[in-house]
Amino acid sequence: MNLVDDLLLAGNVALAIECLTRSIKENARSKDVNLACFCLTKLWDLARESDVNKRAIISGAFTVDVIVETMKQFNELSCEIERIGCGLLWSLSMMVENRPLIVEKEGIEAILNAQLRYKNDLQLQIMGMGALKVLSFDTRAKDVMLRKFGTDVVALIMNEHTFDATIQSDGCVIIGNCAVDEGGNFSEATRVYEREIEAVLAGMTAHEGSLLLSKRLFFP
């Protein structure tokens, strides 16, 4: 993929993104794990560099579709691709204006499926929880999480990684955000259940000395 490096050196980020997206699409049939990892990692690196790059990735034709579809295709084949995909969606979601498109293109479903497939992979779970945490501040994203039993998945992951403070704190933010409506009120539509409450309490018990966790538990 020397062409991508040459394009980036020339400052042509948009064309480099187009090249990476096209390469991933063309790889769909052969399912070359190494090529998919390379392309997604390049996109992730670009997203982390600047908000300008995040906008370029989001505005690229079919780029978000390709990211999500790749995560679906490789879900059972590669934990690394799922991990990179979650990290990339997390980076893109850091911009508020990017969140609706990620939700529309089923980015939340892709993250939840990755988390369920690789429950024991700590780094993937950190990436996934980080992405869901940011997305949980979006009203449409909360609706999707509730419909797809996302808080149930979050509680499951919290129980799998009880002693990781990052997962516990992010999980508490997600559950807290999903428990209230747009006006910050509790309602039947945003109701959380026993499993989620138990996960929050377990997080509090395991990290009772953590001031950061305590703040996120009560002030998500």
Give residue 31's pLDDT band: very low, low, confident or very high (50, 70, 90): confident
Residues of the chain with CATH 1.25.40: 1-121
Average pLDDT over residues 88-99: 96
How many beta carbons lie within 10 A of that of residue 17, not counting itself?
A: 26
Exposure string for 95-115, b = 16+ CB within 10 A, e = fewer: eeebbebbbebbbbbbbbbbb
Higher pLDDT, 87 or 20: 87
Give residue 79's pLDDT band: very low, low, confident or very high (50, 70, 90): very high
**pLDDT tens-digit readout, 63-74:** 899 999 999 999
pLDDT for res 92: 96
pLDDT for res 59: 87
Give residue 30's pLDDT band: very low, low, confident or very high (50, 70, 90): confident
pLDDT for res 72: 94
pLDDT for res 102: 95
Q: Give yes or no for residue 220 having a pLDDT over 50.
A: no
pLDDT for res 196: 65
Distance of alpha carbon 43 from alpha carbon 116, whole angstroms: 24
pLDDT for res 203: 60
pLDDT for res 188: 52
* 138 Cβ contact partners less than 8 Å away, ≥ 6 residues apart: 96, 99, 100, 103
With 0-12 / 13-18 / 19 or more C-beta atoms within 10 angstroms meaning exposed / middle / buried, residue 32 is middle
Q: Give yes or no for residue 183 having a pLDDT over 70.
A: no
How many beta carbons lie within 10 A of that of residue 194, not counting itself?
A: 8
Higher pLDDT, 13 or 189: 13
Give residue 23's pLDDT band: very low, low, confident or very high (50, 70, 90): confident
Distance of alpha carbon 33 from alpha carbon 38, whole angstroms: 9
- Average of per-residue pLDDT values in the chain: 84
Domain 1-121 has CATH 3.30.2310: no
**pLDDT tens-digit readout, 33-45:** 999 999 999 999 9
Give residue 117's pLDDT band: very low, low, confident or very high (50, 70, 90): very high
How many beta carbons lie within 10 A of that of residue 199, not counting itself?
A: 24
Share of the chain above pLDDT 90, in %: 49
Q: Give yes or no for residue 85 having a pLDDT over 60.
A: yes
Distance of alpha carbon 89 from alpha carbon 127, whole angstroms: 9
